[in-house]
Structure 1
Amino acid sequence: MKYTKIPTTDIKVSKICLGTMTWGEQNTEAEGHAQIEYALERGINFLDAAEMYPVPANAKTQGRTEEIIGTWLKKTGKREEIVLASKVAGPAEMVSHIRPNLGYHKEAIQDALDKSLKRLQTDYLDLYQLHWPERQTNFFGKRGYQHEEEEWEDNFKEVLQHLEEMVKAGKIRHIGLSNETAYGLMRFLEESGKNDLPRVVTVQNPYNLLNRKDEIGLTEILHRENVGLLPYSPLGMGTLTGKHLNGIKENSRLGLFPQYRRYSGEQAVQATRAYKEIAVKYDISLTHLALAFVNQQPFVTSNIIGATTMEQLSENIESINIELSEEILREIDEVQEAIPNPAP
């Protein structure tokens, strides 16, 4: 395994992070525990969760993912061996079942955090992330920003002040963002700098061979402001394994939950076929090509992988041993130039 530090902190994390959003829906508690043990044996020390998990979000299973991590922590007593991250849900109809006080006002964050800590059976989180912005912006499958009338008012400073209270209480070590834009990140950094408030250290966004839109503006900010990217969906919901090239597999995540097929459009399939040709040419799996590409990006702190089977998990973790040559990277860029960001 390879390691780095979360920027501006002393927290060492594995370059691969174990994502958990299928635990409690597609994976059982026993399978979740087995994944943690397998990952730890291979050097992974970083787990990412969220209060809304597992996905798809629904009232029956909400919080189950954190509970599975919590029972493992209680059983093993290995809290100090892992870096643990979770997220607070913002306002959205799809998560209205979580609690009535959705949003990032003080009471909502405090309520969400306390419930997450209880489910996780821990006293603190190493990283606590805002799962998506409160304001209307281009997240969850939107390529571009379209202005809409909204009730939201600028509250970046206030949100940081609320999080500062949780940091001072010892419940959070550091804060991060998710599904955030360049504008949102810069506003949070601006307010933390002007007001001596906790500084955002990471952004967790979708990033993969089919969606490199953050390179247009966000990655320069990450570089110049020393903030780390935690890419999720590095395999485009499984599309970049190549298994869906001849149609969606029936029992796969995309087969079970068709609402997640944003990586399955005609151009995305065309690009995936081109990446598959590169992988075949250089005798590596498409999965390894896709994950190694993300692993090698200089702005990436840790690549969040997810798996429903141990076979998938093993292959995903092995990607850390793949080094893509300049020639391969050049051919990847040629596909990106020809079919830029085919999935939102």
Structure 2
Amino acid sequence: MRQVVLGAGGPAVSALCLGTMTWGNQTPEAEAHAQIDMARAAGVNFIDTAEMYPTNPVRRETVGRTEEIIGRWVARGGRRADWVIATKIAGEGSVAREPGEVIDAASIRRALEGSLRRLRTDHVDLYQFHWPNRGSYMFRQNWSFDPRGQDPAAIRANMVECLETLAALKAEGKIGAFGLSNESAWGMAQWIGLAEAGHRPRPVSLQNEYSLLCRHYDTDLAELGHNEGIALMAFSPLAAGLLTGKYQGDVIPPGSRRAANPGLGGRITPRVWGAVAAYLDIAAKAGLDSAQMAVAWTLTRPFPVVPIIGATTLPQLENVLKAADLRLPEDVMTAIAAAHRAHPMPY
């Protein structure tokens, strides 16, 4: 599989990243380990997890379970050196944090040590902040986003503290590269500027939601990603399964993500069904699998991007892995552009 380099000086990773957020909840451990083996056989060397996983739902009693599953795969003889492992520290308000605890020097060290212990490794290759201390407009919060309560000086002071802590951890060999998640263009610009002012490390990636149905990244962040060499790690490229077509007709298949989360985190709206139908129709007319088309489309974007493919089952993973070699015809790309104009913001 084709490889790309994350940012300036980041790790070389496969064009697809293996997502893990269902492991330990919807996906049992044996199947999770089989997914790792299947992905590696297909050329994937990049795996993403987080201290608060599994999700759907996130519960205090399951925090860290997904990392533990990966750790047991490593312990059983999995080739740690073959993988670029990414994990994340949860932000304020997560069940993984104590009440009122934010991402700062103390929590970074405490969270990282927990992740290293659960992953059974002495370092993580990419360490990410799951969401900003100041909050985020992601996860449908864009509809009521209000930045007026933010204190830019305090935000930057905290960023400096975090960057200097990360620099120390990098010097200790406990982390490789640094990335953000659920960040804005303004936030990324602050991190980059402070890093270039000497408060290293410089971020190499940004993990935000991105799919045919969720394209907030396409303007300011796309420009930043291209000009600053920041790679988008696109999560939910299948829009939580909507782009597979399995929920069309407003159905809820047993055992699906929607069975546990009927609204799919705010993605189920009256507008979404027409948008999904448009993309399913494009795939059907072109003789394409809709999930493969959706992931392959992310690889065509005019900025650095690595889609994160999370699958509940092995057959789902086997299918979507084929997107890495799929080249979309020009008429399909034209039809996708037209569908986006007709359905620009379905949720």
State the TM-score bracket (shorter-chain normalisation): over 0.9
Please report how far the alpha carbon of residue 296 of structure 1 lies from its aligned counterpart in structure 2 after TM superposition.
2.1
> Where in structure 2 are the equivalents of 1:165-176 lying within 5 Å?
165-176=168-179
Partner SS state of residue 302, structure 1: strand
The equivalent residue for 2:231 is: 228
Partner SS state of residue 18, structure 2: strand
The equivalent residue for 2:67 is: 66
Q: Relative to 1, partners in 2 of residues 1:99 and 1:261: Cα closer, same or farther, differing over 3 Å?
A: closer
Counterpart contact for 2:230–2:304, Cα < 8 Å: no
Sequence identity (%): 38
Please report how far the alpha carbon of residue 341 of structure 1 lies from its aligned counterpart in structure 2 after TM superposition.
2.4
Q: How far apart, CA to CA, are the structure 2 residues paired with 1:212 and 1:326?
A: 20
The equivalent residue for 1:333 is: 337
**250, 255, 266: which one aligns with 2:253:** 250
**273, 276, 281: which one aligns with 1:277:** 281
The equivalent residue for 1:113 is: 112
Please report how far the alpha carbon of residue 256 of structure 1 lies from its aligned counterpart in structure 2 after TM superposition.
1.6
> Where in structure 2 are the equivalents of 1:80-229 lying within 5 Å?
80-92=81-93, 95-100=94-99, 102-144=101-143, 145-149=145-149, 153-154=154-155, 155-229=158-232
**315, 325, 328: which one aligns with 1:324:** 328
Partner SS state of residue 246, structure 1: coil
> Where in structure 2 are the equivalents of 1:15-34 lying within 5 Å?
15-34=15-34
C-alpha deviations, 1:282-319, integer Å up to 9, x for none?
Answer: 11011111111112224243210011111100111011
Q: How far apart, CA to CA, are the structure 2 residues paired with 1:300 and 1:150?
A: 29
Counterpart contact for 2:309–2:320, Cα < 8 Å: yes
Letter in 1 for 2:125: D
Partner SS state of residue 258, structure 1: coil
Structure 1 length-normalised TM: 0.95
Gaps of 5+ in 2: none
The equivalent residue for 1:3 is: 3
**273, 292, 295: which one aligns with 1:291:** 295
Q: Which moved more, 1:118-127 or 1:1-10?
A: 1-10
Counterpart contact for 2:102–2:133, Cα < 8 Å: yes
Q: How far apart, CA to CA, are the structure 1 residues paired with 2:101 and 2:5?
A: 32
Q: How far apart, CA to CA, are the structure 1 residues paired with 2:235 and 2:85?
A: 16
Partner SS state of residue 231, structure 1: strand
Letter in 2 for 1:122: T
Please report how far the alpha carbon of residue 225 of structure 1 lies from its aligned counterpart in structure 2 after TM superposition.
0.5
Q: CA RMSD in A?
A: 1.6
C-alpha deviations, 1:62-113, integer Å up to 9, x for none?
Answer: 1000000000011114110000000001101xx2354457322111000000
Residue 308, structure 1, aligned to residue 312, structure 2: yes
Letter in 1 for 2:102: G
C-alpha deviations, 1:220-261, integer Å up to 9, x for none?
Answer: 000000110000000000000011111232321012222524
Partner SS state of residue 235, structure 2: coil
Q: How far apart, CA to CA, are the structure 2 residues paired with 1:81 and 1:162?
A: 27
Counterpart contact for 1:5–1:301, Cα < 8 Å: no
Q: Which moved more, 1:6-15 or 1:310-319?
A: 6-15
Letter in 2 for 1:214: Y
Partner SS state of residue 175, structure 1: strand
> Where in structure 2 are the equivalents of 1:33-44 lying within 5 Å?
33-44=33-44
Partner SS state of residue 209, structure 2: coil
Q: How far apart, CA to CA, are the structure 1 residues paired with 2:263 and 2:58?
A: 12
**Which runs of 4 or more aligned residues in structure 1 lie more than 4 Å from their structure 2 counterparts after TM superposition?**
none
Q: How far apart, CA to CA, are the structure 2 residues paired with 1:180 and 1:98?
A: 19
Q: How far apart, CA to CA, are the structure 1 residues paired with 2:253 and 2:10?
A: 44
Partner SS state of residue 295, structure 2: helix
Counterpart contact for 1:101–1:108, Cα < 8 Å: no
